[in-house]
């Protein structure tokens, strides 16, 4: 069963960017028409100065649907991995992922991150171990050369794996900026059945991902806006998950109290039945004691 089949109906999300907001961020600017992908035709509004203009009305709808999907996934306890390694996407992806407390990849995609997850995990364990040694001052007792080598390794691993140090399981959904650049990530996710939400420009194939968001994937402002919308959805999903957990704990506590009360009532009823059953026995014992006392009394003196 795939992740999408396990989720509950999608909740409504608030604050989805409208057409004017998207326009001001330049989300509508596509690639030159000579570099377009014909599959993007349904998302193109017009062509101006040999460049395609994206239909922002469709972008708004697609963004809203993507946000609802991510909110539901995270609300059900899933994780979203945010990916954007091109220069324009690195800053926005890292910033918004940290704001939402999400995992992220903003440098080179580690090949096999999804399909060979255990191997990547071993490298993360190595990074955590080195950082722990550095925090405890264990590197200071090593030679200067060994300590410098360890620090260099920590910096290198953090550069590529720092955003996924806390990722102990495969993500439930990926958010990707530019699926042409991140084609390896898309292929790995598709192979494992992990749904992908992505910003798809006019030179990309929208059919390669589950939730394409037609938009400019080259401008920083455009990437920043859409990434912030996805981060908001992650935060909303986490809020729903926390509320569900709190409701479950309250329901469990109430059920436990009801069970304790029922057990107490059953025990009291059982004790009452036992006492009633023992009444005739006690009465007989008291009569026998009285007869014995009468028998022990001395008889009348003649």
Go through the chain and tell me how many residues it has.
302
54 strand-pairing partners: 44
Per-residue pLDDT band at 187 (split at 50, 70, 90): very high
Q: Judge whether residue 298 has pLDDT over 70.
A: no
Least confident of 108-112, 150-154, 269-273: 269-273
Tell me which CATH code domain 19-111+173-261 carries: 3.40.50.10490
pLDDT digits (tens, 9 = 90+) for 26-85: 999 999 988 899 999 999 999 988 899 999 999 999 999 999 999 999 999 999 999 999
Per-residue pLDDT band at 7 (split at 50, 70, 90): very low
* Residues of the chain above pLDDT 70, percent: 87
**For domain 115-169, is the CATH number 2.40.128?**
no
Q: DSSP label at 217?
A: S
Query: CA-CA distances (angstroms) from residue 3 to 118, 196, 264?
Result: 20, 11, 43
Asked whether the beta carbons of 131 and 154 are under 8 A apart, the reply is yes
22: which residues sit within 8 A by CB, 6+ positions away?
Answer: 28, 56, 59, 60, 215, 225
And the tokens for 7? 């989720």
Stated pTM of the model? 0.77
Average pLDDT, the chain: 87
CB atoms within 10 A of CB 254: 10
Asked whether the beta carbons of 183 and 173 are under 8 A apart, the reply is no
Domain ranges of the chain: 19-111+173-261, 115-169
- Please report where in the chains the tokens 């995270």 appear, as a residue: 74
3-state secondary structure 28-59: CEEEEHHHCCHHHHHHEEEEECCEEEECHHHH
């Amino acid at each position: 069963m795939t992740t999408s089949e396990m989720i509950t109906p999608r909740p409504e999300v608030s604050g989805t960017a409208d057409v004017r907001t998207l326009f001001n961020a330049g989300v509508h600017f596509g690639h030159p028409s000579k570099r377009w992908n014909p599959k993007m035709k349904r998302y193109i509004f017009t062509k101006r100065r040999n460049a395609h203009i994206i239909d922002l009305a469709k972008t708004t709808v697609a963004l809203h649907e993507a946000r609802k999907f991510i909110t539901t996934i995270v609300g059900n306890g899933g994780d979203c991995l945010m990916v954007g390694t091109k220069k324009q996407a690195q800053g926005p992806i890292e910033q918004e992922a940290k704001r939402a407390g999400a995992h992220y990849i903003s440098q080179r995609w580690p090949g096999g991150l999804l399909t060979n997850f255990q191997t990547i995990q071993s490298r993360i364990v190595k990074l955590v171990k080195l950082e722990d040694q550095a925090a405890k001052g264990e590197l200071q007792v090593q030679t200067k050369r060994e300590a410098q080598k360890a620090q260099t390794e920590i910096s290198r691993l953090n550069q590529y794996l720092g955003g996924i140090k806390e990722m102990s399981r495969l993500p439930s959904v990926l958010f990707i900026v530019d699926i042409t650049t991140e084609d390896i990530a898309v292929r790995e996710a598709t192979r494992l059945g992990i749904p992908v939400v992505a910003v798809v420009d006019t030179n990309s194939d929208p059919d390669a991902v589950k939730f394409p968001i037609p938009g400019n994937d080259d401008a920083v402002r455009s990437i920043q806006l859409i990434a912030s919308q996805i981060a908001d959805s992650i935060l909303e999903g986490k809020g729903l998950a926390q509320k569900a957990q709190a409701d479950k704990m309250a329901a469990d506590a109430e059920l436990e109290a009801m069970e304790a009360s029922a057990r107490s009532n059953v025990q009291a009823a059982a004790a009452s039945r036992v006492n009633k059953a023992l009444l005739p026995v006690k009465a007989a014992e008291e009569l026998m004691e009285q007869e014995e006392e009468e028998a022990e009394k001395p008889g009348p003196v003649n």
